[in-house]
Structure 1
Amino acid sequence: MREAAPPSPPTRLARTSSLVLLQPTPLCNLDCSYCYLPSRELARVMSPDVADAVAHTVEVWSAHHPVTVLWHGGEPLATGLPRLTALLDRFPPGRGHPVRHAVQTNGTLLDDAWCRLFVERGIEVSVSIDGPGPGARADRGGHDTTGRALRGIALLREHGIPFGAVTVVSDPCPRRAVELHRWFSGLGCRTLGVNLVERKGVNVRSIADEADPAGFWAALAACGRADPRMALRDVEHALRYVRAEVAGVAQRLAGQPVDPLPMITWDGQVVPVSPDLAGFTSPRLGAFTVGDVRDVGLAGCLARAERVPWVAEALAGIDACRAGCALFAYCRGGQAANKYFETGRLDATETAFCRSSRKLLMEGLIHDAERVTLDT
């Protein structure tokens, strides 16, 4: 009789990260109906000593691998050009490998001065915009902001700045996928990321019951094959997993330590995994932070993270996914934020987000591949 395979060792957290998220301000000038952020009316700005503490660790890490610092809000441009420039100045160019910067913006505050900064510093830009027609991205007066974001994109193009886009979709279906691909490709986007509406944070909405996520992903994949000029973040992530399975390396890669995705909030709090938990507190587990980056540095916060109860519960959730899901090597246990906001626990397994944006995405790719096979 064949012996059972030995149990996998508990999930560990890697000690460095190639991506660090910084929240220069929680403030946002928009009031999107699906926004999950709890403090988007708070006009506060990251202080230089917080940036210094992060920059020190980033410089050390850059001796071993490249590091990207992603300025993520709130709306980063609401920090103001002089203050955000001053924060950027705290970071070194890199020690052996480059330290790069990127910004995720709603595009409505872009002007020539911001564009000049992006060009001078080589900052990568991604714009959050939801596609043609009025939608959920409104300002605080309830007015649609699509036109203002498009004016910002026009400035990026005038200055020769490549840009990507992130769109939030509440009605996934094949028609919407085709419409979005045509529209974003026409704008000249370099890459497109799609977030289906999630019940998360202060947002209690989710995608409509009559939605067709699998059909949406299948149609988006088909559009990407027909017109490959624009990379599709989510489709390419899934295809990388498929290629790893075909090569026989997916399970080995899945056994490696989990890459942290550390978020450092404007006031220095470090959220080492699932950055969408930033700013929230659990009645049972306390605030979703492992401490102030100014106390022990970013590397020190990551080193002690596994001993913090809420992080330990999140890692236990990854172990539970590993034990029970055939697609674990693809999603690596999902996001703890989705688990918490859907179930109240971080050690849950399948979530609505997991089904709509991972399992049904994979199902959509299979359907698209089957159509290609039949056509040939």
Structure 2
Amino acid sequence: MRPLPGLAHRLATAAAGLVLWAGAGLAAAQPATPAPVAGPKPVVVVVATGGTIAGAGASALNSATYQAAKVPVDKLLAGLPELAEVATVRGEQAFQIASESFTNDKLVALGKRVSALVKDPSVDGVVVTHGTDTLEETSFFLNLVVRTDKPIVVVGSMRPGSAMSADGALNLYDAVVLAASPTARGQGVLVAMNDDILSGRDASKRVNIKTSAFSSPWGPLGMIVEGKTYWFRSLAKRHTANSEFDIDRIDALPEVAIVYGSGAMNPSLYEAAAKAGAKAIVHAGTGNGSVANYVVPTLRALRAAGTLVVRSSRVGEGGFVLRNAEQPDDQYDWVVAHDLNPQKAKILTAVALTLPGLTTAELQRIFWTY
């Protein structure tokens, strides 16, 4: 027998109604899920030192010609209300200088202030705003001497805030995200630039007019994307909480000089550095830290007189100096800088010289370790 017209449709509609009614009843019977209770936001202190991130130019087109260190930290933070969603942020003005004007005294003062902040139990992380010219030296210095597992993030920008497509605001936001993140604990001092998470140990400025200026020869540790951190690797070298160095016991850094290698070197440059008070000379050699045959006698004489000699490489991407491969380092009592570029080798040598009775064997161990 054929079904009545429309009966199938009416039955399907009634069944659907029963399902909806039953679902509503089940929903009403279920207890409401409580909304998650947000805990207190992490506390992040931004220590400002100046640099391009605090710079201003005459027009939006002045991305390379501008005055650094013009904008104080309170204005930098006021321009980023989004930070309040990430952390409780406060700022301190440590210095207001272009980073090429950083001295050893300023490095030590900054290190002591950062050390004091991370000892404060109410502080979860520290961001240091910095000019990019010497950002890599400062980040490595802090990585060596501040004994903490709390995040310390160094950040800068390649364009002033007044420039078209300025990068400072996002870099600073990313730095605060990173400093507030529990995933950044124990990772050493970090550099947040151009969405990358770099290690302060091997991050370096590779070009001076692009926002992608900073990189590491061994790659980034991770990335910051839309306010979230993503990690790919960890630093294998010794740092921060596990360091044998402690900024609280360092009041001054010994003088260390860099002499840049090239063809047709003048050996008297090394002698002048030692005469000016350098306790160690970093030779920024070509290739594998090569030393010209006519320079060798001068460096040997300086070493015999007590000046430490460190062979490094001027090669931009991963200069890796092998011991006893280019020169008989054991015979000459010289040290090799491993994979550290000349400016980072200078920082590590200066910090190592704060140890009493430093020998070349100990300095070489330190270069392998850090």
Check whether TM > 0.5: no
TM-score normalised over the length of structure 2: 0.25
Identify which of structures 1 and 2 has the higher relative contact order when contacts are C-alpha pairs closer than 8 Å and 6+ apart.
Answer: 1
From the CA coordinates, give the structure whose radius of gyration is larger: 2
Name whichever structure is richer in helix by fraction: 1
